[in-house]
């Protein structure tokens, strides 16, 4: 299973085999590893949420799928040319803005789960994020997240210290009864450029006077700051991702530091001018890549026992829209990185991109429940029991079995 996606193009059997293959690694995963601190293992888990619905097809591109290039059009990645995608296997290639993740993948310390989604099938960011973070099957006003409830599920002596919530507010995924500590590296995030652009758009339709004022104010602001393409340290955006990760890694590297952390990066809602190998999404992916590298460096010896899970609320349309972007879709990717990951694999029950295979004729069809991924990580990393995972961490999800063998 060095390359779990070989031969995917042709056969349903091999598609199915991808997931089953993992089982062979996982015989010992039922042991509560977290309880075995005596063997020197001291696991860490970081959950990174990408808000705005990441284009999984642009990040880990199915170059081997004959329909990919046509659907993704001008922003499709290619296997050659000046900004060629980084090959992961014969079928999938990684966005060129992510060399660090590619290296981790080669070192078998990073993996991709493709065609994955939560149980949410509509297209609202808020509701999608609710489902992703709450761990419930549908959107609701739940005020606790699955990661916090996972913490609650640990024997009290093993919670070590409160989980780390990075950012000005605790992400929902980490809110709840179990203690958390907060840390925010950003003094005052300036309103993200994306927010400003959306507001300009609204004003242009509804309030021309405010549109003129805001545009001028933004221009003044840029002029005052000089090169507006340079990431502002401490501000939202690409530059901040490394900064956030660096601080979080230092906190979590400490002997008495938090074992579990959660953070969120904004800006993935690429409706227009998404860009291909270069452009807006490329910048964001570069920031994410840098953040992963910061965790690797900052966690030092702890990296060996670390898993970072990168997830997003849903994917984007398979076909690009009229403004060189993508709209709200369904299936997408999740990324795993860290020394504890059984990496070097793209795990996918690949549904294909033929019109009939697309979900609602638009989206990459989800074939893997994201909860199975999360459950698998929690089970292997912290020894949480299926019953706890199926009832309290992800309520009413007994039918969704933990994915096996994700960790080394």
Q: What are the residues binding other proteins (CB under 8 A)?
A: 51-53, 124-126, 129, 141, 143, 162, 165, 167-172, 175, 179-192, 194-196, 198-199, 201-203, 205-207, 209-210, 213-221, 233-234, 243, 246-248, 250-251, 254, 264, 266-269, 271
Query: In the bound complex, what is the minimum distance in angstroms from residue 164's beta carbon to other proteins?
Result: 8
Name which of 216 and 360 has its Cβ closer to other proteins: 216
Three-state DSSP string of the chain: CCCCCCCCCCCHHHHHHHHHHHHHHCHHHHCCHHHCHHHCCCCEEEEEEECCCCCHHHHEECCCCCCHHHHHHHHCCCCCCCCCCEECCCCCEECCCCHHHHHHHHCCCEEEEEEEECCCCCCCHHHHHHHHHHCCCCCCCCCCCHHHHHHHHCCHHHCCCCEEEECCCCCHHHCCCCCEEEECCCCCCCCCHHHHHHHHHHHHHHCHHHHHHHHHHHHHHHHHHCCCCCCCCCCCCHHHHHHHHHHHHHHHHCCCCCCEEEEEECCCCCCCCCCCCCCHHHHHHHHHHHHHHHHHHHHHHHHHHEEEEEEECCCEECCCCCCCCCCECCCEEEEEECCCECCCEEEECCCCCCHHHCECCCECCCCEEHHHHHHHHHHHHHCCCHHHHHHHHCCCCCCCCCCCCCEC
Query: In the bound complex, what is the minimum distance in angstroms from residue 138's beta carbon to other proteins?
Result: 14
Query: In the bound complex, what is the minimum distance in angstroms from residue 207's beta carbon to other proteins?
Result: 4
Name which of 215 and 304 has its Cβ closer to other proteins: 215
Query: In the bound complex, what is the minimum distance in angstroms from residue 373's beta carbon to other proteins?
Result: 22
Query: In the bound complex, what is the minimum distance in angstroms from residue 407's beta carbon to other proteins?
Result: 27
Query: In the bound complex, what is the minimum distance in angstroms from residue 230's beta carbon to other proteins?
Result: 15
Query: In the bound complex, what is the minimum distance in angstroms from residue 255's beta carbon to other proteins?
Result: 12
Name which of 160 and 181 has its Cβ closer to other proteins: 181
- Distance, in Å, from the CA atom of 42 to the CA atom of 282, rounded to the nearest integer, reads 34
Name which of 35 and 184 has its Cβ closer to other proteins: 184
Name which of 23 and 254 has its Cβ closer to other proteins: 254
Name which of 39 and 206 has its Cβ closer to other proteins: 206
Name which of 87 and 300 has its Cβ closer to other proteins: 300
Name which of 248 and 340 has its Cβ closer to other proteins: 248
Query: In the bound complex, what is the minimum distance in angstroms from residue 312's beta carbon to other proteins?
Result: 10
Q: Which backbone phi and psi does 188 adopt, to 5 degrees? A: -140, 105
């Amino acid at each position: 299973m060095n390359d779990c996606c070989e031969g995917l193009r042709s056969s349903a059997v091999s598609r199915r085999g991808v997931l089953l293959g993992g089982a062979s690694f996982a015989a010992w995963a039922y042991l509560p590893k977290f309880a075995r601190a005596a063997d020197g293992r001291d696991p860490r888990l970081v959950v990174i949420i990408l808000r705005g619905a990441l284009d999984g097809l642009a990040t880990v591109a199915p170059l081997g799928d004959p329909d990919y290039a046509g659907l993704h059009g001008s922003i499709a990645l290619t296997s050659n040319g000046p900004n060629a995608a980084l090959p992961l296997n014969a079928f999938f290639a990684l966005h060129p803005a992510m060399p660090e993740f590619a290296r981790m993948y080669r070192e078998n310390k990073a993996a991709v789960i493709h065609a994955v989604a939560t149980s949410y099938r509509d297209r609202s960011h808020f509701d999608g994020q609710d489902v992703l973070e709450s761990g419930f099957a549908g959107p609701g006003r739940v005020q606790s997240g699955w990661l916090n409830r996972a913490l609650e599920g640990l024997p009290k002596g093993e919670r070590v210290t409160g989980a780390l919530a990075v950012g000005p507010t605790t992400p929902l995924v980490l809110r709840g009864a179990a203690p958390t500590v907060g840390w925010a590296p950003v003094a005052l995030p300036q309103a993200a450029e994306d927010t400003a652009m959306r507001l300009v758009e609204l004003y242009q339709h509804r309030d021309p006077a405010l549109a003129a004022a805001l545009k001028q104010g933004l221009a003044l602001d840029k002029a005052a700051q000089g090169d507006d393409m340079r990431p502002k340290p401490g501000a939202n955006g690409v530059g901040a991702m490394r900064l956030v990760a660096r601080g979080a890694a230092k906190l979590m590297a400490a002997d008495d530091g938090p074992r579990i952390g959660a953070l969120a990066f904004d800006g993935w809602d690429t409706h227009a001018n998404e860009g291909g190998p270069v452009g807006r999404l490329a910048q964001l992916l570069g920031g994410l890549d840098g953040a992963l590298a910061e965790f690797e460096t900052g966690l030092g010896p702890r990296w060996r026992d670390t898993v970072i899970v990168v997830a997003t609320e849903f994917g984007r349309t398979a076909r690009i829209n009229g403004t060189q972007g993508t709209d709200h879709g369904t299936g997408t990717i999740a990324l795993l990185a860290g020394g504890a990951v059984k990496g070097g694999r793209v795990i996918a029950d690949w549904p294909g991109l033929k019109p009939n295979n697309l979900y609602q004729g638009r989206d990459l069809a989800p074939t893997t429940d994201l909860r199975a991924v999360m459950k698998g990580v929690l089970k292997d990393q912290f020894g949480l029991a299926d019953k706890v995972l199926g009832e309290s961490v992800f309520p009413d999800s007994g039918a969704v079995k933990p994915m096996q063998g994700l960790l080394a």
